[in-house]
Amino acid sequence: MNENTANEPSPPLNYLTAERGIWSWWMSTDHKRIGLMYLGSMIFFFFLGGFIALAIRSQLFRAGSTLLAPQSYNVAFTIHGVIMIFLFIVPGVPATLGNFLLPLMIGAKDVAFPRMNRLSYWIYALGALFAFGALFMGVDTGWTFYAPYSIQNRWGVVTMTLAAFVLGFSSILTGLNFLVTIHKLRCPGMSWNRLPLFVWTLYATAILQVVATPVIGITLLLLILENLFGVGVFNPAMGGDPVLFQHFFWFYSHPVVYIMILPSMGIISEIVPVFSRKPIFGYKALVAASIGIAVISVLVWGHHMFVAGMSDAARIAFSLLTFLVAVPTAVKVFNWLSTMYKGSISFESPMLYAMAFIFLFMIAGTSGIHLATLATDAHYHDTYFVVAHFHYTIQGGAVIGLYAGLHFWFPLIFGRVYNEKLARLAFWMVFIGFNGTFLPQFALGMEGMPRRYFTYPAEFEPLHQVSTVFAFLNGTGYSLVLLNLLYAAFRGKRSPANPWGSLGLEWSTSLPPPHDNFERIPVVEDWSYGYAQPQTAVRLKQMEEASRAAQLHQGPQTPHEGPPRHMQPEQAYDAAKLGMWIFLGTEILLFGGLFCAYIIYRLANLELFATASRHLSWPLGTLNTVILLTSSYFMARAVSRARSGDNDGIIRCLDLTLLCALAFLVIKGFEYAAKFEHHLFPPPNIYFGLYFATTGLHALHVLCGMGVIVWLRGLAENERFSKTYFTPVEMGGLYWHLVDVIWIYLFPLLYLI
Amino acid sequence: MTKFLDWMPVAASDYAKEVDWINLMITTAAALCILAVTAAMLFFAWIYRRRAEREHSAYITHNYLLEVLWTAIPTVVVIAVFYFGTKSYVAARTPVKNALEVQVTGYQWGWDFLYATGKQSTNELVVPVNTPVRLVLKSRDVNHSFFVPALRLKEDVLAGAYHYLWFTATRIGEYPVFCTEYCGLSHAYMQGKLRVVSQADYASFSQIEQTHEMPVSEAGQQLFAAKGCMACHSVDGTPRVGPTLKAIFGREEKLVDGSKIVVDENYLAESLKQPNAKIAEGFAPNMMPSFEGQLSEQELEALIAYLKTL
Ligand code: HEM
Ligand SMILES: [Cu+2]
Ligand SMILES: [Cu+2]
């Protein structure tokens, strides 16, 4: 990319050319580069997953086909699901376009925590590595990892779930970063009611990422422990409850479908006004719908379990709540439609994708109604109808939205334009191929064809054949999109400033933007949907000029380390604090999941828990509680020393905290040793399973906290803190207190009652 | 309606026809909505297409009346759908008294059926027409799901708890049965058959050759005596150390903590394995020994079958 731009006349420096070499990308904290790296990795996985999908479709072309061996087929659909969900569409739009555009759209120089952003990509890469490893280990559980099939001590499942766990971490970091960025880094004039709708959907998504992901984290962790040591929680043979796994799993995995779709809806809300040259219709309704969807979506997970043996009352309640989620979805469709009314509409490829999205998403949403209805879902559950439904939502919705956005912002990202004719051709191939693949699957579902079958009775064959043929058209279409965009990214014609005539703030900088986005932090005077007004033309002209001027003023900017330079000091402090509180929230949710499991099993096995808890030594537990409380006291002292600028004081207090932590771990070690001696490990029953899971996880947190303290101590020794700057000490302190508070809950639960 | 919207297989019960009706109603309404919005979208796209670069478009930002309308109308519609869907489904799940009972055991990879007479069959469930049937589902290993497309019904089959299905087949014939919860290698081969036969045919089918096999409940009765349950539980209504087991099944039991519970298989199994988990009102805890580990699955099932006859 770099060489090519260098060959052209007067290369303007931008984020792409600011620095050269793979290493400069890997180490970059620039949100635009990180977004692009995500995009590259994800597109790779999208095509890998798509390739496997074609293998699956080929096997299904004929009833009784033996193209793939049964086991290969089962592995293939598992890999396909895991790749598409965890490696592609869950990071999805937020990690790619979101990362790239969020700061540009709210007039900031970067996200709140650029280094955390880079860390989230690194973690993603690590997770991808694990997942890649697991690909070769023959995991065949499906992406849902239902217990007890998934707890038959197989390293493949452990590796795969570890990958999903790690990827969840990356997702939380992105969500946290976005929340803080949106709260603290909006430029002057960018009030909440002018916030672009894409940003609003990123906001709603980020909330879901932060709230739901910790729960899948703890679920996967328990599943891993179950495989390694036999905790018993999900194992009916040990009195565990396989349905609990499903509850935990869907508590995350339902909201996650809205994590996938909401940002794509935001993209549609950006594109339709630009190409209709009309303000977005019902801005407030669209915002309310996004938030509404986010809120309701954490209350409906049970609709994946209508026939899993829940009480009839629960089935009815979850059914009703699920219906409610359809309403805000419908509201969005009507508002997009009305935006086109009396517009001046043109139909370049982004608009084609946007209109396709609206059409496809209606099919997706209304098929959701079939599934929310108890009477019909009992027929449709786990058939091809569900397969068709979620491909319409995810591929027809989330992916088509992503492609709409890619085509729309392509000139901004690369400063070049793609071949529009080819883009339209590819669009029609994708659109027809997609519908041809998945419409027949609705019919198959009606007929009763179950999912995850490598072979099927002959009467299902004709529809399967149609589906397979169109799947290849679909795949060819996507390949054409890729080739077109890839070629354009390197060789495309230079894009003129603001090629679509958008009023979005992101278009007022150069194409592609400089490393720091804006020369000066912009000041916003109107929302970005003010089309069809007398002053619109003038504003567009100003934006174009600003964009051209930005081209002339660019110099090389090296990504930097150290205290943030893209924020004011107070802003940085506020951001750090908000970020820390959100992080603590996710920790609480993580342990919350464990506490839930504990309480559920305790209530179901009162006797077992009461007798088993007598094996614990409450004097040691009490001692440990006192030690932790003392450590909290020293930590608080360290913060107050920091506040008065007493560097030696900080070091002294941190040392004492560290000492307490060490004492805690040593005592814990003795306790564990005693349990080992009494053969209470591997755990003989759920009580000890939960005992080791909770206290072990807590001990791990203590260890992390000690790492933080050591790091703070190092900073203090280098005299990095002052009366005015001691944010890290304060944040470290908050974390340490949380670790103690969790123990305060654990102690009575495990030792005393 | 045409085949275009409705691909449902033959219906083998009245409930299935009801489901088809609800399904068709939803599909039709959905199709109409999609058509209407798509037509409007294409219409707008056509008449408001950009003809000239500088062209007037209207500055319209919102309309509260419209917002309220298109929030309220879908809400009403979905609640109506919810109502119909729930009503039928709940009716189909309401226990029918004196239903014919079949124990269904799912395993990797097949189905076993055990009838009240002691008759057994594998991968083929035979039921009489026009007779309420109650399936008691249980898995021997991982999760499965018992799906009969012709009945429009399925229910997961799990280890660790009994699940139920009720239905009344009204059409004689043979219908496919699928496992719809992924259960490993041969999940796709876990197919069975539902054979709905006339009541006379069923009577002859379910009869077992009078050899050493005996009805399940009879085996349960012998266990009841052998394990000494009699010492504390009467079967004629007189209270002893423990509650009487007369008419225990389906009865509403009041517990010491004040809650009420309807006695079903899960409750009975729990009472045998963990007697102290739920104590009936008027009785003390720690009286009954746990039979956890002392009864095989078959013995447990036999005992429960016997208790149901009381
Ligand atoms: C109108 C809105 C929606 C409604 C009412 C709805 C309803 C449902 C219901 C009831 C199910 C469970 C079906 C079953 O397993 O029997 C389901 C499955 C599913 N839905 Fe939706 N849905 C909606 C939108 C979405 C969206 C926006 C997405 C994703 C972007 C999505 C993705 C999925 C997925 C992935 C599954 C199946 C997961 C699996 O079993 O592997 N849905 N939906
Ligand atoms: Cu869901
Ligand atoms: Cu199965």
* Tens-digit pLDDT profile for residues A63-98: 988 899 898 999 999 999 999 999 999 999 999 999
Residue A675: other Cβ atoms inside 10 A: 18
DSSP string, A264-333: HHHHHHHHHHHHHTSPPTTHHHHHHHHHHHHHHHTT-GGGG-TTTT--HHHHHHHHHHHHHHHHHHHHHH
Residue A560: inside a domain? no
Boundary residue ending a domain (A494, A520, A538): A494
A367 CA distance to ligand 1 middle (Å): 9
CA of A205, nearest ligand number: 1
B70, B141, B186 ranked by CB distance to A70: nearest:
B186
CB contact under 8 A, A448 and B40: no
CA-nearest residue to A328 within chain B is: B71
Q: Is the pLDDT of residue A561 over 50?
A: no
Does pLDDT of A120 surpass 90?
yes
Compare CB distances from B60 to A278, A312, A446 and report the shortest one's residue: A278
Does the beta carbon of A141 lie under 8 angstroms from any beta carbon of chain B?
yes
Round to whole Å and give the CA distance between B140 and B283: 34
A59: Cβ below 6 Å to ligand 1?
A: no
Residue A674 structural domain = 606-752
Among chain B residues, CA nearest to A352 = B45
Please report which ligand is nearest the Cα atom of B110. 3
End-of-domain residue from the set A461, A494, A527 = A494
**Nearest residue of B to residue A308 by CA position?**
B156
Tell me the pLDDT tens digit for each residue of A232-278.
888 887 878 889 889 989 988 999 999 899 999 999 999 999 999 99
Whether A402 and A276 map to the same domain: the answer is yes
The type of residue at A697 is: L
Q: Does A326 touch chain B (CB under 8 A)?
A: yes
**What is the pLDDT, as a whole number, of residue A722?**
85
Between positions 99 and 138 of A, the ones with CB within 8 A of B are none
Task: Give the percent of chain B with pLDDT over 90.
Answer: 51
Alpha-carbon torsion, ordered A149, A155, A158, A159, to 10 deg: -130
**Topology of the domain comprising B100-205:** Immunoglobulin-like (2.60.40)
pLDDT at residue A118, rounded to an integer: 94
B287 and chain A: CB distance < 8 Å anywhere? no
Q: What is the mean pLDDT of residues A174-182?
A: 95
Q: Whose CA is nearest to atom 12 of ligand 1?
A: A304
Span(s) in chain B for CATH 1.10.760.10: 216-308
Ligand 1 mean position to A392 CA, how many Å?
Answer: 10
Alpha helices, H only, A186-241: 197-229
**pLDDT tens, residue by residue, A463-484:** 999 999 999 999 999 999 999 9
Rounded CA-CA distance A524/A196 in Å is 12
- Quickly state the pLDDT bin for A565 (edges 50, 70, 90): low
Residue in B4, B7, B135, B175 to test binding to A, most A beta-carbons within 10 Å: B7
**CATH 1.10.287.90 in chain B, residues?**
14-92
- Asked if B149 lies within 8 A of A236 by C-beta distance, the reply is no
Question: Could you say which residues from 367 to 406 on chain A have a Cβ atom under 8 Å away from some Cβ of chain B?
Answer: 367, 369-370, 372-376, 378-379, 381-383
Q: Is A83 exposed, middle or buried (0-12, 13-18, 19+ CB in 10 A)?
A: buried
Average pLDDT, rounded, for chain A: 90
Point out the residue among B61, B89, B276 whose CB comes nearest to the CB of A374: B89
Nearest ligand to the C-alpha atom of residue A364: 1
Considering the domain boundaries, does residue A550 fall inside one?
no
Where is pLDDT greater, at A682 or A178?
A178
Window from A108-122, A263-277, A464-478, A507-521 with minimum mean pLDDT = A507-521
Given a cut of 70, whether residue A558 has pLDDT beyond it is no
Assess whether A610 and A482 both reside in one domain. Answer: no
Residues of B in contact with A285 (CB under 8 A): 62, 67, 71
Domain count, chain A: 2
Q: Does residue A287 belong to any structural domain of this protein? A: yes
Ligand 3 centre from B86 Cα, in Å? Answer: 27
Within a domain: residue A588?
A: no
SS (H, E, C) A623-634: HHHHHHHHHHHH
Q: What is the pLDDT of residue B2?
A: 53
Looking at domain B14-92, does it have CATH number 3.40.1390.30?
no
Residues carrying CATH 2.60.40.420, chain B:
100-205
Residue A612 and residue A489 in one domain:
no
Q: Which of A74, A326, A443 sits opposite B185 (nearest CB)?
A: A74
**CB-CB neighbors (< 8 A) of B182 in chain A:** 74, 141-142, 146, 149, 451-452
SS (H, E, C) chain B: CCCCCCCCCCCCEHHHHHHHHHHHHHHHHHHHHHHHHHHHHHHHHHHCECCCCCCCCCCCCCCHHHHHHHHHHHHHHHHHHHHHHHHHHHHHHCCCCCCEEEEEEEECCEEEEEECCCCEEECEEEEECCCEEEEEEEECCCCEEEEEHHHCEEEEECCCCCEEEEEEECCCEEEEEEECCCCCCCHHHCEEEEEEECHHHHHHHHCCCCCCCCCHHHHHHHHHHHCCHHHCCCCCCCCCCCCCCCCCCCCEEEECCCCEEECCHHHHHHHHHCCCCCCECCCCCCCCCCCCCCCCHHHHHHHHHHHHHC
pTM: 0.88
Closest-CA distance, A453 to chain B, in angstroms, reads: 5
Given A472, A494, A516, the domain boundary residue is A494
B chain contacts of residue A373, beta-carbon cutoff 8 Å: 22, 26, 81-82, 84-86
On the question of pLDDT at A396 being above 90, the answer is: yes
| A358 interaction partners in chain B (CB closer than 8 Å) | 37, 41
**Nearest atom of ligand 1 to the alpha carbon of A326:** 1
**Peptide linkage before B109 cis (omega within 30 of 0):** yes
For A591-640, write each residue's pLDDT tens digit: 888 888 888 888 887 878 888 888 888 888 899 999 999 999 999 999 99
Q: Which residues of A touch B154 (CB under 8 A)?
A: 307, 378-379, 381-382
Q: Which helix (H) or strand (E) holds A423?
A: helix A420-447
Looking at the complex, report in whole angstroms how far the Cα of residue B84 sits from the nearest Cα belonging to chain A: 8
Same domain membership, residue A199 and residue A65? yes
The string of pLDDT tens digits covering residues A183-215 is 999 999 999 999 999 999 999 999 999 988 888
The answer to whether A161 contacts chain B (CB < 8 Å) is no
Ligand 1 pocket residue status of A377, Cβ below 6 Å: yes
Q: Which amino acid is at B188?
A: A
- Ligand 1, atom nearest to A142 Cα: 41
Does A412 fall in a domain? Answer: yes
- Residue ranges for chain B with pLDDT beneath 70: 1-3, 209-213, 231, 240
Q: Are residues A478 and A616 in the same domain?
A: no
Contact A78, A49 (CB under 8 A): no
Question: Using alpha carbons only, how large is chain A's radius of gyration in Å?
Answer: 27
> Residue A644 domain-assigned?
yes
Q: Give burial (CB, 10 Å; 0-12/13-18/19+) of A633.
A: middle
Q: Which of A224-238, A570-584, B282-296 holds the top average pLDDT? A: A570-584
* Ligand number nearest to the C-alpha of A258: 1
Asked if the C-beta of A70 comes within 8 angstroms of chain B's C-beta atoms, the answer is yes
- pLDDT, one tens digit per residue, over A333-392 is 999 999 999 999 999 999 999 999 999 999 999 999 999 999 999 999 999 999 999 999
Which residues of chain A have a CB within 8 Å of the CB of B142? 146, 148-149
**Could you tell me if A210 and A585 are in contact, meaning their C-beta atoms sit under 8 angstroms apart?**
yes
Least reliable range by pLDDT among A58-62, A440-444, B247-251: B247-251
| A579 within a domain of the structure (yes/no) | no
A398 lines ligand 1 (CB under 6 A): yes
CATH of B216-308, one of 3.40.640.10, 3.40.50.2000, 1.10.760.10, 2.40.37.10: 1.10.760.10
Kindly report the nearest CA distance between residue B269 and chain A, in angstroms: 13
Q: Which residues contact A596 (CB under 8 A, 6 or more apart)?
A: none
Q: Which of A200-204, A409-413, A531-535 has the lowest mean pLDDT?
A: A531-535
**Residue of A241, A281, A347 lying closest to B61 (CB–CB):** A281
Domain-located, residue A530: no
In this structure, the answer to whether residues A37 and A179 fall within a common structural domain is yes
* pLDDT in the model for residue A553: 62
- What's residue A583's pLDDT? 92
**More confident of the two residues A520 and A255:** A255
Is A340's CB within 8 Å of B44's CB?
yes
Q: What is the CATH number of the domain that holds A616?
A: 1.20.120.80
Residue A8 confidence class, pLDDT cut points 50, 70, 90: very low
The full DSSP string for A672-731 is HHHHHHTT--S-SSHHHHHHHHHHHHHHHHHHHHHHHHHHHHHHHHTT---SS--HHHHH
Q: What is the ipTM of this complex?
A: 0.88
Residue A745 has pLDDT above 60, yes or no: yes
CA distance A340 to A277: 9
Q: What is the CATH number of the domain that holds A76?
A: 1.20.210.10
**Token pair recorded at residue A419:** 């071949």
- Whether A363 and chain B come into contact, CB under 8 Å, resolves to yes
